[in-house]
C-alpha cells in the first residue's frame, strides 16, 4: 500500500489543505485497490467501495446519503472514514464491509488520523475532537478550546 508523509497533515481551519489531503488520500487508496465514489474533488459520497482486478466493483454496504470527508487506513485491511451527521465507519476487510461507530454527535466530522489499529482521533464542526483507544468502539470527547470547524488532524505522541 502506498504511504503518505504524515508530517504533511496539519490541524487547521482553512479549506485548501484539507481538500488537497482528500485528493491525495483518494489517489493513494486507488493505488491500494480501495476506491471511493467521488462526485467532486473535495468529497466522496455514500459508502466507500472497492476495486478488484482492475475493474470497478461498486458496493453500497450502508444507507446512502452520507457525505464522507476523510479516510485513513493503517494497513491494507483496517481503515476508517468520517463524514456528515457524526458518521464514523470502520472496515477490517479492506473496504468490503463497513460498520458504523457511535460518536455522540450529529455534527460534520471532517478529519481523522489513526496511528495504529486501536488509537485514533477525529475532528469536526464546532471544534469537535474525540479520541479512541479501542478501534472506535468508544470515542471520548476532548476539549479543543475552539468553536471553529476543524478540518484535519495529525495524531502526535
Which of 34-43, 90-99, 116-125 shows the lowest mean pLDDT across its residues?
34-43
Whole-structure pTM value: 0.64
Q: What does the alpha-carbon distance between residue 87 and residue 90 come to, in Å, rounded to a whole number?
A: 10
Containing H/E element for 47?
none
Name the residue with cell 478529519: 111
- Tens of pLDDT along 5-64? 333 333 333 445 555 555 555 555 555 555 554 433 344 444 445 455 554 444 555 545
C-alpha 34/C-alpha 72 separation (Å) is 11
How far CA 112 is from CA of 54, 73, 77, 109, 144, in Å, comes to 28, 10, 17, 8, 15
Of 125, 56, 130, 114, nearest in space to 80 by CA = 114
Mean pLDDT value of segment 109-119: 95
Residue 68: CA count within 13 A, CB half-sphere: 30
Q: Say if residue 83's pLDDT is above 70.
A: yes
Mean per-residue pLDDT for 59-80? 77
Amino acid at each position: 500500500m502506498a504511504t503518505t508523509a504524515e508530517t504533511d497533515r496539519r490541524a487547521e481551519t482553512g479549506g485548501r489543505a484539507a481538500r488537497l489531503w482528500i485528493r491525495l488520500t483518494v489517489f493513494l487508496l486507488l493505488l491500494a485497490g480501495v476506491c471511493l465514489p467521488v462526485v467532486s474533488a473535495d468529497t466522496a459520497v455514500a459508502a466507500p467501495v472497492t476495486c478488484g482486478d482492475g475493474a470497478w466493483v461498486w458496493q453500497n454496504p450502508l444507507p446512502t446519503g452520507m457525505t464522507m470527508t476523510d479516510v485513513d487506513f493503517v494497513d491494507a485491511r483496517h481503515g476508517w472514514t468520517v463524514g456528515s451527521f457524526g458518521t464514523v465507519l470502520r472496515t477490517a476487510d479492506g473496504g468490503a464491509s463497513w460498520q458504523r461507530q457511535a460518536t455522540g454527535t450529529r455534527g460534520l466530522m471532517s478529519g481523522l488520523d489513526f496511528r495504529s489499529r486501536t488509537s485514533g482521533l477525529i475532528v469536526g464542526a464546532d471544534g469537535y475532537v474525540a479520541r479512541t483507544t479501542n478501534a472506535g468502539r468508544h470515542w471520548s470527547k476532548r476539549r479543543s478550546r475552539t468553536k471553529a470547524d476543524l478540518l484535519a488532524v495529525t495524531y502526535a505522541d
